[in-house]
Structure 1
Amino acid sequence: MNSARRHARIECGRQIGAGFLVTGRKAVTCAHVIADGGAAPLTVTFAHEAGAVAVPARIVSHGG
Protein backbone atom coordinates (compact mmCIF):
# COMPACT_ATOMS: atom_id res chain seq x y z
CA MET A 1 0.00 0.00 0.00
CA ASN A 2 3.00 2.31 -0.12
CA SER A 3 2.63 2.92 -3.84
CA ALA A 4 1.17 6.24 -4.98
CA ARG A 5 -0.58 4.28 -7.74
CA ARG A 6 -3.05 3.06 -5.12
CA HIS A 7 -3.93 6.54 -3.84
CA ALA A 8 -7.14 8.16 -5.10
CA ARG A 9 -8.95 11.49 -4.84
CA ILE A 10 -12.64 10.89 -4.16
CA GLU A 11 -15.18 13.65 -4.87
CA CYS A 12 -18.85 13.39 -3.99
CA GLY A 13 -20.78 16.62 -4.33
CA ARG A 14 -18.97 19.21 -2.21
CA GLN A 15 -16.97 16.60 -0.26
CA ILE A 16 -13.41 15.73 -1.27
CA GLY A 17 -11.36 13.05 0.39
CA ALA A 18 -8.64 10.52 -0.03
CA GLY A 19 -9.10 6.89 -0.82
CA PHE A 20 -7.04 3.92 -1.86
CA LEU A 21 -7.49 0.98 -4.17
CA VAL A 22 -8.15 -2.36 -2.55
CA THR A 23 -8.63 -4.17 -5.88
CA GLY A 24 -8.16 -3.13 -9.48
CA ARG A 25 -11.70 -1.69 -9.58
CA LYS A 26 -12.63 -0.91 -5.95
CA ALA A 27 -11.50 1.91 -3.67
CA VAL A 28 -12.14 2.60 0.00
CA THR A 29 -12.73 6.02 1.54
CA CYS A 30 -14.25 7.44 4.73
CA ALA A 31 -18.05 7.42 5.11
CA HIS A 32 -18.27 11.22 5.46
CA VAL A 33 -16.77 11.66 1.97
CA ILE A 34 -19.68 9.82 0.35
CA ALA A 35 -22.41 10.95 2.75
CA ASP A 36 -24.28 12.67 -0.12
CA GLY A 37 -23.70 9.72 -2.45
CA GLY A 38 -27.36 9.11 -3.12
CA ALA A 39 -27.84 12.47 -4.81
CA ALA A 40 -24.42 13.84 -5.72
CA PRO A 41 -22.14 12.71 -8.53
CA LEU A 42 -19.22 10.55 -7.37
CA THR A 43 -15.84 10.59 -9.13
CA VAL A 44 -12.42 9.09 -8.55
CA THR A 45 -9.17 10.60 -9.81
CA PHE A 46 -5.73 9.02 -9.72
CA ALA A 47 -3.38 12.01 -9.53
CA HIS A 48 -0.27 9.90 -10.19
CA GLU A 49 -1.38 9.52 -13.81
CA ALA A 50 -0.28 12.18 -16.30
CA GLY A 51 -3.36 14.06 -17.49
CA ALA A 52 -5.51 12.45 -14.79
CA VAL A 53 -9.23 12.61 -15.52
CA ALA A 54 -12.05 12.18 -13.00
CA VAL A 55 -13.72 8.80 -13.55
CA PRO A 56 -17.42 8.35 -12.70
CA ALA A 57 -17.92 5.91 -9.84
CA ARG A 58 -20.69 4.41 -7.72
CA ILE A 59 -21.07 3.34 -4.12
CA VAL A 60 -21.25 -0.43 -3.75
CA SER A 61 -21.15 -0.62 0.05
CA HIS A 62 -21.66 1.97 2.77
CA GLY A 63 -20.52 1.02 6.25
CA GLY A 64 -21.42 4.37 7.86
Structure 2
Amino acid sequence: MAAESSTRPIVVVTEGGPHIWAIVNALADRVGPVSVILESPESKKRLLTGRARRQGWISAIGQLGTM
Protein backbone atom coordinates (compact mmCIF):
# COMPACT_ATOMS: atom_id res chain seq x y z
CA MET A 1 0.00 0.00 0.00
CA ALA A 2 1.18 3.52 -0.71
CA ALA A 3 2.74 5.42 2.16
CA GLU A 4 1.46 8.74 0.83
CA SER A 5 -1.67 9.51 -1.13
CA SER A 6 -1.09 11.45 -4.33
CA THR A 7 -3.54 14.21 -5.22
CA ARG A 8 -2.71 13.90 -8.92
CA PRO A 9 -4.78 11.39 -10.90
CA ILE A 10 -3.06 8.56 -12.73
CA VAL A 11 -4.47 7.71 -16.15
CA VAL A 12 -3.30 4.90 -18.44
CA VAL A 13 -4.28 4.95 -22.14
CA THR A 14 -4.00 1.48 -23.68
CA GLU A 15 -5.34 -1.02 -26.18
CA GLY A 16 -5.55 -3.56 -23.35
CA GLY A 17 -4.04 -7.02 -23.05
CA PRO A 18 -2.88 -9.17 -20.12
CA HIS A 19 0.48 -7.48 -19.67
CA ILE A 20 -0.93 -3.98 -19.39
CA TRP A 21 -3.47 -5.11 -16.80
CA ALA A 22 -0.64 -6.51 -14.70
CA ILE A 23 1.07 -3.11 -14.88
CA VAL A 24 -2.16 -1.24 -14.05
CA ASN A 25 -2.84 -3.53 -11.08
CA ALA A 26 0.72 -3.09 -9.79
CA LEU A 27 0.37 0.69 -10.07
CA ALA A 28 -2.97 0.62 -8.26
CA ASP A 29 -1.52 -1.53 -5.47
CA ARG A 30 1.42 0.84 -5.09
CA VAL A 31 -0.10 4.31 -5.49
CA GLY A 32 -3.89 4.01 -5.34
CA PRO A 33 -6.68 4.43 -7.89
CA VAL A 34 -5.74 4.33 -11.57
CA SER A 35 -8.11 5.34 -14.38
CA VAL A 36 -7.84 3.33 -17.60
CA ILE A 37 -8.89 4.58 -21.02
CA LEU A 38 -9.24 1.79 -23.59
CA GLU A 39 -8.72 2.77 -27.20
CA SER A 40 -9.27 0.80 -30.38
CA PRO A 41 -6.16 -0.97 -31.67
CA GLU A 42 -4.49 0.52 -34.73
CA SER A 43 -3.70 -1.86 -37.58
CA LYS A 44 -0.08 -2.91 -38.04
CA LYS A 45 -0.21 -1.69 -41.62
CA ARG A 46 -1.22 1.79 -40.49
CA LEU A 47 1.48 1.84 -37.79
CA LEU A 48 4.11 0.69 -40.30
CA THR A 49 3.20 3.27 -42.95
CA GLY A 50 3.14 6.06 -40.36
CA ARG A 51 6.58 5.09 -39.05
CA ALA A 52 7.91 4.79 -42.58
CA ARG A 53 6.67 8.29 -43.37
CA ARG A 54 8.37 9.72 -40.26
CA GLN A 55 11.55 7.60 -40.06
CA GLY A 56 12.00 5.99 -43.47
CA TRP A 57 11.17 2.50 -44.71
CA ILE A 58 14.42 0.83 -43.61
CA SER A 59 13.96 1.97 -40.01
CA ALA A 60 10.24 1.09 -40.03
CA ILE A 61 10.84 -2.42 -41.38
CA GLY A 62 13.55 -2.92 -38.74
CA GLN A 63 10.93 -2.19 -36.06
CA LEU A 64 8.37 -4.54 -37.61
CA GLY A 65 9.51 -7.47 -35.45
CA THR A 66 8.62 -5.59 -32.25
CA MET A 67 5.07 -4.79 -33.33
State the TM-score, normalized to the length of structure 1.
0.22
Larger Rg: 2
How high is the TM-score relative to the length of structure 2?
A: 0.21
Q: Which structure has more helix as a fraction of its residues?
A: 2
